Amino acid sequence: MNTVLRDLDGLHAWRQQLPGSLALVPTMGHLHAGHLSLLRLAQEHADHVLVSIYVNPLQFGAGEDFDRYPRSLDADLAQLTEAGCTAVFVPDDRILYPQGSAAITQVVPPATLCAILCGVQRPGHFTGVATVVLKLLQLTQPDLLVLGEKDYQQYRIVQQMLADFHLSTRLLCGPTQRAADGLALSSRNSLLTTAERALAPRLAAELDRLCQLPAGSDAGFAAAAARENLEAAGFVVDYLELRDSETLQSLPRTQPGGRWFVAARLGQVRLIDNKVMP
Which range in 83-91, 169-177, 221-229, 234-242 contacts ligand AMP by CB under 6 A? 169-177
| 32 annotated active-site | no
Q: How many CB atoms lie within 10 A of CB 213?
A: 18
Q: Which residues contact 150 (CB under 8 A, 6 or more apart)?
A: 34, 176, 177, 184, 185, 186, 272, 273, 274
Question: By CB under 6 A, is residue 27 in contact with ligand AMP?
Answer: yes
**Of 131, 177, 189, 254, the one binding ligand AMP by CB under 6 A:** 177
Residues 234/266, Cβ–Cβ less than 8 Å: yes
Residue from 4, 7, 21, 37 touching ligand AMP (CB under 6 A): that is 37
The residue (of 37 and 121) whose beta carbon lies closer to ligand AMP is: 37
With CB under 6 A as the contact rule, the residue among 151, 206, 241, 273 that binds ligand AMP is 151
- Between 49 and 219, CB nearer to ligand AMP: 49
CA 201, 262, 278 angle in degrees (round to 5)? 85
The span of 87-95, 173-181, 201-209, 212-220 binding ligand AMP (CB under 6 A) equals: 173-181
List 250's β-bridge partners, or say none.
243
Summary count for the chain: helices (H), strands (E): 11, 9
3-state percent breakdown (helix, strand, coil) of the chain, nearest 5 = 45, 20, 35
Within residues 179-238, the interface with ligand AMP by CB under 6 A covers 184-187
Interface contacts to ligand AMP, rule CB under 6 A: 27-28, 34-35, 37-38, 147-148, 150-151, 174, 176-177, 184-187
